Amino acid sequence: MSTITETLHSGWGQYFTDYEILFEEKTKEQHLLLIETSSHGRVLFLDGVVQLTEKDNFIYHEMLTHVPIFAHGDVRNVLIIGGGDGGIAKQALAHPHVQVTQVEIDEGVVTFSKKFLPEVSSGALDDPRMNLVIYDGAKFVKETSEKYDVIIIDSTDPIGPGEVLFTKEFYTDCSAILTESGILVTQNGAPFMQQEELQTSVQYFRDIFAIGTCYLTTVPTYVGGPMALGFATNNNEALHVSLETLRSRYEKAGLATEYYNPEAHIAAFALPEYIRRAIE
């Protein structure tokens, strides 16, 4: 029986045996592979690393999107860096007053996702409130004169094209284009396996912003324990929104979420001791 094994962590990971290869291509930027599995539906790999599955992508996309939007409370303009599958855009555009600019370096991922993973974006990439820019995200944040209430970094791990999106220079450029109460959130891996990555990002956040921390979610196919999502802002109130306020904002938005709710939002910031110590 043949297997496909994820290559993110040396000597340890996950594998799929019951699968069919649906698509494989070397794009301009990355090696792209899509398989169909009985357990997780369609599974997308980039450069040997699982990016999403049909079955559990909603967890990551909802938590990376709705936490900063509801923590802020009055978001109008969202910038997404990466996210070519459209899952973050779908969640952001579920908020009726939000406009989205999305910067994706690899047009091939967008084209592929529309064709083979249409339910992940549900048409969000073609929404009239969406401005999709095929460009280098690091260059975009350095060059743009626009301001954003929330910036969401939906990147691969700090390997290859995603590496620049974990640098202090990049985070500094992001801070310059946030509104006064704006929030930056990032994908920061599983702290149990990628502690140094999280420590470095949080330290950079604290050098640049008044607040730098992370919150957690658990995505079954991002192996290694809970996943850290970086959180940086100069808005102290964003970390201390009451449950009552979050419930009010959530009900007003009228969202039909599968994972996110106000209680999960607050609980996500309660860090286990090994993670809390790692970022102190």
**DSSP H helical ranges for 16-125:** 57-72, 87-92, 107-116, 118-121
Active site residue 154: yes
DSSP SS3 for 219: coil
Strand residues in the chain grouped as ranges (E): 4-5, 15-16, 19-26, 31-37, 41-46, 49-53, 77-82, 99-104, 130-134, 148-154, 178-187, 211-217, 227-233
d(CA 176, CA 146): 10
Cβ contacts of 20 within 8 Å, gap of 6 or more: 35, 36
Say which of 85, 127, 154, 157 is annotated catalytic: 154
In this structure, the strands spanning 77-82 and 148-154 are parallel
DSSP SS3 for 27: coil
Cβ contacts of 247 within 8 Å, gap of 6 or more: 262
Half-sphere exposure of 47 (CA within 13 A, CB side): 13
Measured in degrees and rounded to the nearest 5, phi and psi for residue 20 equal -135, 130
Q: Which residues are catalytic?
A: 154
